[in-house]
Chains A and B, each alone.
Chain A
Amino acid sequence: MLGNAAGKAYMVEPKNIRLPLSKRDIAGLSAGDMVLISGQLVTGRDRVHKYLVEQRPAIDALPVDLTGSVLYHCGPVMKKKDEGYEVIAAGPTTSIRVEMYEAEVIKNYGLAGVMGKGGMGEKTLAALRESGAVYFHTIGGAAAYLADRIVRTVDVWKLEDFGPTEAMWIFEVEDFPAIVTMDSRGNSLHKEIEEISFRKFRTLIGR
């Protein structure tokens, strides 16, 4: 999928997608698809989610229009330069922590998707179906690699209040690798894998 850095050739071709995504683009994505994302996305983790749900800022109060964009669960390492910031490391954080907020955020701000690691629960899965959105799973811990796919830091929001880890960064990405693991038709790879592993677990403990 992503070259042959470790000496293995790949048969699976990823889909190239460009943000913002249309409803049609989203409908064309299925759980299991590997994608390379290009375009503008924003970061947001625990504090951004809490703020968006509790304070409900208007769509035009945010620095960019999130319609058709992707909210990336990420708290990057940023280095302050004379002018602006440099992205040092920017892998995903665990998405399930924002499960209680995500459904509302997706609906209120017209997101095409959220991206993180570890997958999300039933409430988000239902919201993805209702709103027509997907969950992208990228690679946890691959922070140097993923930082190199961020070609530009466009802007930042709530830097003073939340600090660089929790602020909303607006990034321009190019060929950012991810796998669709929850789609807009209610399919979730996480649910499938959890069921398989739970059955195996019951067998291993004889129950």
Chain B
Amino acid sequence: MLKLRDGIIELYRKVASSLPPDVETAIRSAYDNEPATSASASALMVILENIKRARETARPICQDTGLPVFYVKVPFGLSQNELKKTIHEATREATRLVPLRANAVDIITEKNSGDNTGEGFPLIYFEEVESGALVIDLMLKGGGCENAGQTYKLPLEEIGAQRDLEGVRRCVLDAVQKAQGRGCPPYIIGVGAGAAKDQVARLAKEQLMRKLTDSSKIPELAALEQRLLSEINELGIGPMGLGGKSTALGVKIGVNHRHPASYFVDVSFGCWAMRRGRLIW
């Protein structure tokens, strides 16, 4: 798996240093939308220049190279243990070579492992597929936007959220309003609704892997994604929380079946530096 390891190191380099084209295009439109002399326009201008410099010099876009989150589609017969080992090796090497910031801290000793590996670090989700290629998706999830996330248990009277899609809508607006500029807007918002806390948290984060041009295949959710995007942008939080029209670049919602007694909603924030990429092997 040596070659695969090198492929994953390159994936790290690419994801850390170059923003997906759909995200960059959305940031450029956001910039065009803000008044020329505003603080938010100048912040977006620096952001655009930064994207360019990072790509040209193969340097990380953000110093927080994040918690690496892997979504791996494994063809039947390939060992997940071996893949996990290879991902860990690639992570150690990438930390040294890209370089990435060492972000894995032991809860007990407070020691940083120095190489971005540790218990449950990177975060890896495997899914077995019948056949075809090994597909490795990587997201580098910054801590600032991760901290802005919220989980809700419906009903929630203080925001009038009942157990329905209108309740989901209220949760998302509440989460963004509470986050303000702390997670580096303009945001990409992932939403998950379903039966259990861990399930909706995973679902919400997975939505961040969808392209900004992608709409939910479920018409009710596609409509809610659109509506929420425009409502969030009415809040006036703006780029970096400095005020303005662009608080979010996209809203993506995923749902699972729920239990009759349970209705959980998770809202996951992606910062503007939404670093994701794919390796097909």
The residue that A118 contacts in the complex, of B54, B63, B103, B241, with Cβ under 8 A, is B241
- Chain B residues with CB under 8 Å of A11's CB are 36-37
Q: Could you pull out 6 A-B pairs where Cβ atoms are within 8 angstroms?
A: A6-B44, A89-B61, A118-B144, A139-B43, A141-B47, A141-B142
CA–CA, A32 and B181, complex, Å: 16
The residue that A205 contacts in the complex, of B160, B242, B272, with Cβ under 8 A, is B160
B184 lies within 8 A of chain A by Cβ: yes
- Chain A residues with CB under 8 Å of B238's CB are 193
Asked if A77 contacts B65 (CB within 8 A), the reply is yes
CA–CA, A177 and B49, complex, Å: 13
Known: A94-B144, A143-B63, A193-B180. A12 touches B42 (CB 8 A): yes
A28 to B: closest C-beta gap in Å: 18
CA–CA, A90 and B61, complex, Å: 10
A15 lies within 8 A of chain B by Cβ: no
Output the nearest chain A residue to B148 by Cβ-Cβ distance. Answer: A94
Output the nearest chain B residue to A200 by Cβ-Cβ distance. Answer: B235
A84 lies within 8 A of chain B by Cβ: no
B15 lies within 8 A of chain A by Cβ: no
A176-199 near B? 1/0 per residue, CB < 8 Å: 010101000000011001101110
- Chain A residues with CB under 8 Å of B41's CB are 8
- Chain A residues with CB under 8 Å of B39's CB are 32, 34, 179
CA–CA, A10 and B38, complex, Å: 9
A130 to B: closest C-beta gap in Å: 24
Number of interface residues of A (CB under 8 A): 59
Chain A residues in contact with chain B, CB under 8 A?
1-3, 5-6, 8-12, 32, 34, 74-77, 79, 88-91, 93-94, 96-97, 117-119, 137, 139-148, 163-166, 177, 179, 181, 189-190, 193-194, 196-198, 200-201, 204-207
B159 lies within 8 A of chain A by Cβ: yes
B134 lies within 8 A of chain A by Cβ: no
- Chain A residues with CB under 8 Å of B48's CB are 5-6
Asked if B54 contacts A144 (CB within 8 A), the reply is yes
CA–CA, A189 and B182, complex, Å: 13
Asked if A117 contacts B180 (CB within 8 A), the reply is no
- Chain B residues with CB under 8 Å of A163's CB are 102, 112, 114
Near A by CB (< 8 A), chain B positions 132-149 give 142-144, 147
B42 to A: closest C-beta gap in Å: 4
Asked if B103 contacts A201 (CB within 8 A), the reply is no
Known: A200-B236, A205-B160. A143 touches B50 (CB 8 A): yes
Known: A145-B53, A201-B177, A205-B170. A139 touches B46 (CB 8 A): yes
- Chain A residues with CB under 8 Å of B28's CB are 6
A9 to B: closest C-beta gap in Å: 7
Output the nearest chain A residue to B59 by Cβ-Cβ distance. Answer: A144
Asked if B63 contacts A206 (CB within 8 A), the reply is no
CA–CA, A32 and B64, complex, Å: 27
Asked if B60 contacts A143 (CB within 8 A), the reply is yes
B173 lies within 8 A of chain A by Cβ: yes
Near A by CB (< 8 A), chain B positions 219-233 give 231
Output the nearest chain A residue to B144 by Cβ-Cβ distance. Answer: A94
B57 lies within 8 A of chain A by Cβ: yes
- Chain B residues with CB under 8 Å of A117's CB are 144, 181-182, 184, 240-241
CA–CA, A10 and B39, complex, Å: 11
- Chain A residues with CB under 8 Å of B243's CB are 189, 193, 196
Output the nearest chain B residue to A90 by Cβ-Cβ distance. Answer: B63
Asked if B271 contacts A141 (CB within 8 A), the reply is yes
Known: A2-B45, A142-B46, A179-B39. A88 touches B59 (CB 8 A): yes
Known: A5-B45, A144-B57, A179-B242. A75 touches B234 (CB 8 A): no
Known: A6-B49, A75-B63. A205 touches B159 (CB 8 A): yes
Asked if B160 contacts A144 (CB within 8 A), the reply is no
CA–CA, A9 and B45, complex, Å: 11
CA–CA, A198 and B237, complex, Å: 10
B152 lies within 8 A of chain A by Cβ: no
Asked if A139 contacts B173 (CB within 8 A), the reply is no
The residue that B180 contacts in the complex, of A79, A90, A194, A206, with Cβ under 8 A, is A194
Output the nearest chain B residue to A163 by Cβ-Cβ distance. Answer: B112
Most A CB atoms within 10 A — which of B41, B48, B64, B183?
B64
Known: A118-B180, A144-B53, A189-B243. A2 touches B46 (CB 8 A): yes
